[in-house]
Structure 1
Amino acid sequence: MARRKRKTSGAAGTRNWLELPSDVTASILSRLGAIEILNSAQKVCSQWRNICKDPSMWRSIDMRNLGDREDDIVHEKMCFHAVDRSRGHLIDINIEYFGTDELLLYIAERSAHLKRLRLLSCYGVSEDALVKAALKLPFLEELEIFICDISKETMEAIGRSCPLLKSLKYNLEHCKSFPYVSDDEALGIAQSMPELRRLELLGNALTNEGLQAILDGCRHLEYLDLRQCFNVHLGEDLEKRCVERIKTLRRPDDSTHDYEFILGDPDTSPSYENFPFWWNF
C-alpha cells in the first residue's frame, strides 16, 4: 500500500517564520549581534520589531564589527540605543574599535549589574574613564581589555572598585612582545585582584618579579596565560611553583594558534618588526 504524503503549507512546504512562538523567535534573534538586529532583523515585520524592543533581548550586547573606522560614529549611536533598550538589565557587552569615554561612562551609569565588559581596540577610551566606569560596576566579574597599556594605578583602581572580578584578559592585539621591561601592570593586578581565577597576559612585558607578585597576590588563580611574555624565564623553582598552584599554565613559548589575533610566526624569535604601528610614534 502506497504511503499517503503528509500535507504541508505554503510553496513546497515552506515554513512561515511568523508562526513561530515569540520565545522561539526571540531565542533565534538573540544569536545575532546588536548591529544585525538594529540594522536588519527589527525591520522585517512589526512582530519582530516588538520582540527586538524587549529589554530581555538586550541583556547581552555584542557590538562586533570588522574595524571599519568610517562606521565608528554610526556604531556608537547604535550602542547608545542598545543600552537604552536594556533598561538597566545589561549584564554583558562587547565593544570593538569604536569605544569612547562618553560611551563607556554611559554604559556604566545605566548598567549597575554589568558582569562582563570587553573592550577591543577602543583607543578612544582613556584610563580616567576606565577608573570612573569601574567605580560604577561593583558586580563586574569578567573584564577583557585589548589596548596599548594601562598604568599600575589604573589597574589597582579597577581591582579595588570591582571586588568580584574573577577573570581578567589583558592581552595585546597585534604584537609579540614589548621591547621593554615593566612589572607595573602585574603589580597592580597582584595588589588589587585577589579573587582572580583566570588571568591572560599574552604579550605582556612583565618579568619574573611581576609573576612572583601575581602568584603571591592572586591565590585562587586556576588559569594563567603567559604566552609571548618573553621577559619571563621559568626556571626550575618558579615553574614548579606555577605548576603546583595553577591548574592550566600556558608558558611564554607555547603556541598561539588558538589566539584570535595574528601575532607573527611563532617559530621566529621576537623582533621589532612585530611591534604595533603605534610604537614608532
Structure 2
Amino acid sequence: MASSSSGDDDSSSKEISSSSGVDSSEEQLRNWLELPREVTASIFSRLVATEILNNTQFVCKSWFDICKDPLVWRKINMYNIGEADLNMELDRMCRHAVDRSRGNLVDINIEYLGNDGLLKHITDSCGQVKRLRLACCYNVSNEGLIEAIAKLPLLEELDLSLCAFSTEPLETVGRHCPRLRSLKLHCQAYRSWFVDPDMELEINEEAIGIAKHIPELRHLQLLGNPMTNMGLQAILDGCPHLESLDLRRCLSIDLKGKLGQRCKEQIKYLRLPHESTEDLEFRIGPDDDGHNAPNDFSDDGSFDEDYGSWYSSVADFVFDEYLDGEFDDYPDFDSSDGSLDYDDFTVPENF
C-alpha cells in the first residue's frame, strides 16, 4: 500500500508539472535568468569578490556578462581565510576586482591581506570611495595608509580593526576627509593598571588626536583602547556632535563620577567598557572563544593570571611571526608571472 501511495503522489506531481507546461526546476532557473540585469548585479555585489571571480561568473554566459558590469563592483569584500601562500593571488584578484569597477567603487573591505601597493592601486583607480575597512592588514604601513587617505576626499566611514597604525593617519583624515562621520579603531584590550604621569599623554595620544583632528565625528568606536579619563575628556570636548560612542574593553577609564554622568548626558548611544562584545567579529580580549573578554582584575581586586598568560602568548606569537619575516611587505603585484587572467579565457561552447 505504501508503494502504491508513493506512486500516486509521483503521478500527481507529474500531472501538476505537466499542466503548467514547465518542470519546476526549469521554471526556477528561468525566473533567475529573467531577473532585471540591475537586480542580478545588485545581488552579486553582495558576494565575496573571490566567489564571483572563481565561481559565479562561470555559471552561464549571461552571468559572465553581468559579472563584468561595474555595478557589481561598487562594493568589494576581499579576505584571506588564513592561507599565507594565497596572499599574492588574492592581491591580484583584488586589483582585478577594482579594475572592473571602472572607478565606481564606493565601499571596500579587506581582511588579512594587502600592502601599500594594493592600497595605492585602489585609491589611484577609485577616488569615490566612501567606506574603507582594513582588518588585520599587517603589511600596510603608516605611510601607505596616509597616502591612500589623502586621495579619498569623499570618505565617510573608516574602520581600522587590529591594525598597527600610529596616530599620524588621523591628522591626514582631518585634513583630507571633511565628510568623515564614522570612525572605528579596534585593538587588543588591556588595562593600564599603573599610569606613569609622564606617560599619560602618550597613552592618550590616539584619543587626543581624534579630538583635535576629526571634530565632526558622529559615530566613534574605540574597542580595547588603552586611553584613560584624560583621553575620554578630550573626545567629549573636541567632538561635540558625537551621537554614538562605543568604549567596550577600554579598561583604563573610570566612569563612576562626573565623567560618566557627562557621557550619559552628551552621548545618545553609549556602550560601556564592560559590556558584552559577543557581537564582534574579532577577538579583542583574552577569552578563549573570542567574546566577552574577562577583566584583568578579579572581583576581589587581585590580578587575573589568566589574562596575563593570554596576553603574553599573544606577544610571543607576534614576536615569533616578526622573526620569521611574516610581517615583511609582500612584493608588488607583477602581472608577468603567467598566472590566470580572469578576463583571458575561452567561453565554453555551451554558454
TM-score over 0.5 (shorter chain): yes
Q: Which position in structure 1 is the counterpart of 2:38? A: 23
Find the partner of 1:10 among 8, 23, 29: 23
Within 5 Å, which residues of 2 pair with 1:72-151?
A: 72-151=87-166
Q: Which position in structure 2 is the counterpart of 1:279? A: 315
Q: Select between 153-162 and 131-140 the one with higher mean Cα deviation.
A: 153-162
Q: Which position in structure 1 is the counterpart of 2:5? A: none
Q: Deviations over 1:99-124 (max 9, x none)?
A: 11001111111111110000010001
Shift of 1:148: 4.0
Q: Select between 255-264 and 89-98 the one with higher mean Cα deviation.
A: 255-264
- AA aligned to 1:176 is A
Report the CA distance shift for 1:110/1:135 in structure 2 as closer, same or farther (over 3 A).
Answer: same
Q: CA RMSD in A?
A: 2.2
Is 1:261 the equivalent of 2:282?
yes
Is 1:244 the equivalent of 2:265?
yes
- AA aligned to 1:247 is K
Shift of 1:65: 3.8
Count of matched residue positions in the alignment of Structure 1 and Structure 2: 277
Secondary structure at the residue paired with 2:46? Answer: coil
Is 1:184 the equivalent of 2:210?
no
Q: Normalization by structure 2: what TM-score?
A: 0.73
Shift of 1:147: 2.8
Q: Which position in structure 2 is the counterpart of 1:234? A: 255
Contact 1:205 1:230 in 2 (8 A): yes
Secondary structure at the residue paired with 1:249? Answer: strand
- AA aligned to 1:183 is N
Q: Which position in structure 1 is the counterpart of 2:303? A: none
Report the CA distance shift for 1:267/1:131 in structure 2 as closer, same or farther (over 3 A).
Answer: closer
Q: Which position in structure 2 is the counterpart of 1:194? A: 215
Find the partner of 1:53 among 43, 57, 68: 68
Shift of 1:125: 0.2
- AA aligned to 1:268 is P
Larger Rg: 2
Report the CA distance shift for 1:146/1:277 in structure 2 as closer, same or farther (over 3 A).
Answer: farther
Q: Normalization by structure 1: what TM-score?
A: 0.91
- AA aligned to 1:112 is G
Contact 2:142 2:168 in 1 (8 A): no
Contact 1:95 1:118 in 2 (8 A): yes
Contact 1:138 1:161 in 2 (8 A): yes
Contact 1:200 1:225 in 2 (8 A): yes
Q: Deviations over 1:163-212 (max 9, x none)?
A: 1111011012xx33266861111111111111111111110111110111
Secondary structure at the residue paired with 1:275? Answer: helix
Shift of 1:140: 0.3
Shift of 1:14: 4.4
Report the CA distance shift for 1:178/1:58 in structure 2 as closer, same or farther (over 3 A).
Answer: farther
Find the partner of 1:37 among 52, 55, 62: 52
Contact 1:140 1:162 in 2 (8 A): yes
Contact 1:88 1:111 in 2 (8 A): yes
- AA aligned to 1:257 is E
In structure 1, runs of 5+ residues without a counterpart are none
Q: Distance in 1 between matches of 2:313 and 2:146?
A: 26
Contact 1:142 1:165 in 2 (8 A): yes
Contact 2:110 2:134 in 1 (8 A): yes
Q: Distance in 1 between matches of 2:125 and 2:174?
A: 20
Secondary structure at the residue paired with 1:80? Answer: helix
Secondary structure at the residue paired with 1:224? Answer: strand
In structure 2, runs of 5+ residues without a counterpart are 1-14, 297-306, 320-351
Q: Which position in structure 1 is the counterpart of 2:322? A: none
Secondary structure at the residue paired with 1:163? Answer: coil
Secondary structure at the residue paired with 2:20? Answer: coil
Q: Deviations over 1:141-164 (max 9, x none)?
A: 000001344323332222222111
Q: Select between 139-148 and 82-91 the one with higher mean Cα deviation.
A: 139-148
Find the partner of 1:223 among 244, 252, 259: 244
Q: Distance in 2 between matches of 1:208 and 1:218?
A: 15
Report the CA distance shift for 1:136/1:267 in structure 2 as closer, same or farther (over 3 A).
Answer: closer
- AA aligned to 1:264 is P
Secondary structure at the residue paired with 1:132? Answer: helix
Secondary structure at the residue paired with 1:53? Answer: coil
